[in-house]
Amino acid sequence: MSTAHADTGQPLLRGATWTLTSSCEAKYKCSTIKADGSTELARVEFPYEPVSAKENNGTIEILYSCGTECSATYFILPDNSTSGPYSLVTSIDYEKGTLLSLSKNEIRLFRFAPAEKSAIKSIHVKIPENSTLPSRLVDSQLSNHTYSITYKDASNRKTSITIEQ
């Protein structure tokens, strides 16, 4: 796996036959492009340049920041199709093509390869009304294709949830 952080004017990543670059043509109008020489293979549009990009077995993960407790993750898959956006991704299973995403009070399991727009599993968690799940996250792990997430519940106790695929 290779990882890069965005530096203006420099390729984010390089593969054997491709490069991943990002540029902004106007304020809030940026593109991240995977290209083979002069041929564009895939493009992701986002208002900002990516924070980082990494490649894992042919799948490129691109992370964008959009503010406090806000991030968007996109993928460029080995066939050059794109998948995303997915908000606040905590864990990714590249072998199964799934990921865990957080919202205000839900944990969601998505399939990103092949891309599916709606969650394949969604778990509502009880936390204080004036807080968000991302701010109460203690840990998120992936082991043997099973996701484990620990957060502080409404009683401020550590609660763990296991999600099998």
Domain of residue 105, residue span: 88-165
φ/ψ bin of 8: left (φ > 0), alpha (ψ from -120 to 50), beta (otherwise): beta
Chosen domain end from 87, 119, 154? 87
- Is residue 67 domain-shared with residue 93, that is, in the same domain? no
- Is residue 120 domain-shared with residue 57, that is, in the same domain? no
* Cβ-Cβ contacts under 8 Å for 74 (sequence gap 6 or more): 32, 44, 46, 61, 62, 64, 82, 83, 84, 85, 86
Chosen domain end from 46, 67, 87? 87
- Is residue 65 domain-shared with residue 93, that is, in the same domain? no
- Is residue 68 domain-shared with residue 114, that is, in the same domain? no
The DSSP 8-state label assigned to residue 155 in this structure reads T
- Is residue 119 domain-shared with residue 51, that is, in the same domain? no
- Is residue 79 domain-shared with residue 109, that is, in the same domain? no
Answer yes or no: are the C-beta atoms of 160 and 148 closer than 8 Å.
yes
- Is residue 74 domain-shared with residue 14, that is, in the same domain? yes
Q: What is the pLDDT of residue 165?
A: 87
Q: What is the pTM of this model?
A: 0.87
φ/ψ bin of 120: left (φ > 0), alpha (ψ from -120 to 50), beta (otherwise): alpha
- Is residue 81 domain-shared with residue 92, that is, in the same domain? no
- Is residue 28 domain-shared with residue 12, that is, in the same domain? yes
Answer yes or no: are the C-beta atoms of 104 and 158 closer than 8 Å.
no
Q: Residue type at 118?
A: S
Listed as ranges, residues in the chain with pLDDT below 70 are 1-9
76-114 in b/e form (b: 16+ CB < 10 A) is bbeeeebbbbbbbbbbbbbeebbbbbbeebebbbbbbbe
- Is residue 78 domain-shared with residue 144, that is, in the same domain? no
Total of domains in the chain: 2
- Is residue 29 domain-shared with residue 82, that is, in the same domain? yes
- Is residue 79 domain-shared with residue 114, that is, in the same domain? no
Chosen domain end from 62, 87, 112? 87
Q: What is the pLDDT of residue 7?
A: 47
